[in-house]
Amino acid sequence: MTDIKAALRAQHIETPSWAYGNSGTRFKVFAQRGVPRDPYEKLADAAQVHAYTGVAPTVALHIPWDKVDDYADLARHARELGVGIGAINSNVFQDDDYMLGSVTHPSARVRRKATDHLLECVDIMDATGSDTLKLWFSDGINYPGQDDIRARQDRLADSLAEVYGRLGEGQRFLLEYKLFEPAFYATDVPDWGTAYAHCVKLGPKAQVVVDTGHHAPGTNIEFIVAFLLREGKLGGFDFNSRFYADDDLMVGAADPFQLFRIMFEVVRGGGLDAETGVAFMLDQCHNIEPKIPGQIRSVMNVQEATAKALLVDRDALAAAQTEGDVLGANAVFMDAYNTDVRPLLAELREEMGLAPDPMTAYAKSGYFEKIAADRVGGTQAGWGA
Ligand code: LRH
Ligand code: MN
């Protein structure tokens, strides 16, 4: 059990700054009391998640949603709060110039503008000490014939190569794929294969990020995870869950068994080992639920799935698999999944000097009441969509 606890203690789950701001759908972005007005307040809220879970020490930023005058000062503020700056997320999907694409746009001027933004994000990595750039492109087309699918891949490859060349020592970028939305006919990075092929061509500093909400219904995501890990190309996860499309709900909420199967392939493939460098990031929106508790619950869901994955009796599983004992192998797998790991995690938190139940501890802290009282006036942070 000691190893399992050690692995759980070492697991770091990165929370996204944008989860603390207002978010919603195209129908409505709901405002909530106490929402941060700037990146400094977002970091303060993220620090609460780390304070009560002990395993969320970094915060991903999104540019320009988290644009500040002094990024080094923002990183200093994070350190004072006991957290660090994680992945820097680029945003080439919210400018009128990008209606027909960003780095894949037919116009060289627009491609230049988009690539310059990606390069600016590397400058922000330098200023904040972040080692990871996360690239998601909303680029795609809505109608057959609208643009040349192959030429768009050439344009994408050119931009990625330029950004790759700009990465410094110890820096990398993670290329994110997504089947559709906002493009509804062809997306330029629609699936893991496309992202993988571009990353292999570029080199070791380019890896793939698996957003669990970005696949066609019925996709076996754990197969993709096993494959990318085997290739050394799994850079990380954008964890969330969904019932239908890119719903960005709390990870594990819609399908905890799928999250367990994914985390089993992570454990089996050495993805929990620090040197493998897999980033466990949340990418969620708490449209109707309170945001800090939503993040705490999400971190706990990843911990529970990871603990269950670590409990799989690997020797018994391997023996049953070798003997072709189909039901036996499945039973070993399900025994772990059906194990209640909450007492183990509560014990681990106490050993880490934390309250056994982070949700109750945060609720009793009075932090929400304080920010709801303090954060009056100003403009609440949001997606700016
Ligand atoms: C795109 C995405 C991407 C982020 C955005 C907030 O759907 O998953 O990772 O930039 O959400
Ligand atoms: Mn994502």
**pLDDT truncated to tens, each residue of the chain (385 aa)?**
779 999 999 999 999 999 999 998 989 999 999 999 999 999 999 999 999 999 999 999 999 999 999 999 999 999 999 999 999 999 999 999 999 999 999 999 999 999 999 999 999 999 999 999 999 999 999 999 999 999 999 999 999 999 999 999 999 999 999 999 999 999 999 999 999 999 999 999 999 999 999 999 999 999 999 999 999 999 999 999 999 999 999 999 999 999 999 999 999 999 999 999 999 999 999 999 999 999 999 999 999 999 999 999 999 999 999 999 999 999 999 999 999 999 999 999 999 999 999 999 999 999 999 999 999 999 999 986 5
Residue 30 near residue 76 (C-beta atoms within 8 A): no
Q: Whose CA is nearest to atom 9 of ligand 1?
A: 136
Q: Rounded distance, CA 132 to CA 189, Å?
A: 19
Say if ligand 1 is within 6 A of residue 89 CB: yes
Residues whose beta carbons lie less than 5 angstroms from ion ligand 2:
211, 238, 283
Give the pLDDT confidence score for residue 353 in this predicted structure. Answer: 98
Q: Counting atoms of ligand 1 from 1, which one is nearest the CA of 18? A: 6
Q: Collapsing DSSP states into helix, strand and coil, what is residue 241?
A: strand
Query: b/e map of 183-195 (b: 16 or more CB within 10 Å)?
Result: beebbbbbbbebb
Query: Do the bridges between strand 172-176 and strand 206-211 make them parallel or antiparallel, or are there none, so unpaired?
Result: parallel
Ligand nearest to the CA of 63: 1
In angstroms, what CA-CA distances link 181 with 192, 216, 241, 243, 312? 16, 12, 16, 16, 37
Tokens representing residue 364 in the block: 């009793």
Give the pLDDT confidence score for residue 385 in this predicted structure. Answer: 54
Tokens representing residue 327 in the block: 């039901």
Q: Collapsing DSSP states into helix, strand and coil, what is residue 90?
A: coil
Round the CA-based radius of gyration of the chain to a whole number and report it.
Answer: 21
Give the pLDDT confidence score for residue 384 in this predicted structure. Answer: 65
Could you tell me which of 194, 242, 253 has the C-alpha nearest to residue 216?
A: 242
* Apex 283 CA angle, 306 and 244, nearest 5: 90
Give the pLDDT confidence score for residue 98 in this predicted structure. Answer: 98
Q: How many CB atoms lie within 10 A of CB 12?
A: 18
Say if ligand 1 is within 6 A of residue 147 CB: no
Mutate to test the pocket of ligand 1, among 173, 176, 208 (most ligand atoms within 8 A of CB): 176
SS (H, E, C) 207-222: EEEEECCCCCCCCCHH
Q: Counting atoms of ligand 1 from 1, which one is nearest the CA of 240? A: 8
Q: How far is CA 281 from the centre of its chain?
A: 3
Say if ligand 1 is within 6 A of residue 178 CB: yes
Say if ligand 1 is within 6 A of residue 248 CB: no
Q: Whose CA is nearest to atom 3 of ligand 1?
A: 136
Say if ligand 1 is within 6 A of residue 283 CB: yes
In angstroms, what CA-CA distances link 187 with 144, 208, 303? 12, 16, 33
Q: Whose CA is nearest to atom 6 of ligand 1?
A: 283
Ligand nearest to the CA of 282: 2
Mutate to test the pocket of ligand 1, among 65, 102, 133, 238 (most ligand atoms within 8 A of CB): 238
Q: Rounded distance, CA 370 to CA 385, Å?
A: 28
Residue 349 near residue 296 (C-beta atoms within 8 A): no
**How far, in Å, from the CA of 136 to the mean position of ligand 1?**
6
Classify residue 333 by burial, with Cβ atoms within 10 Å: 0-12, 13-18, 19+. buried
**How far, in Å, from the CA of 178 to the mean position of ligand 2?**
8
Q: How many CB atoms lie within 10 A of CB 384?
A: 13
Q: Rounded distance, CA 66 to CA 61, Å?
A: 6
Q: Rounded distance, CA 58 to CA 125, Å?
A: 14
Q: Whose CA is nearest to atom 10 of ligand 1?
A: 136
Q: Whose CA is nearest to atom 11 of ligand 1?
A: 283
Q: Counting atoms of ligand 1 from 1, which one is nearest the CA of 176? A: 9
Give the pLDDT confidence score for residue 240 in this predicted structure. Answer: 98
Give the pLDDT confidence score for residue 330 in this predicted structure. Answer: 98
Tokens representing residue 252 in the block: 């594990």
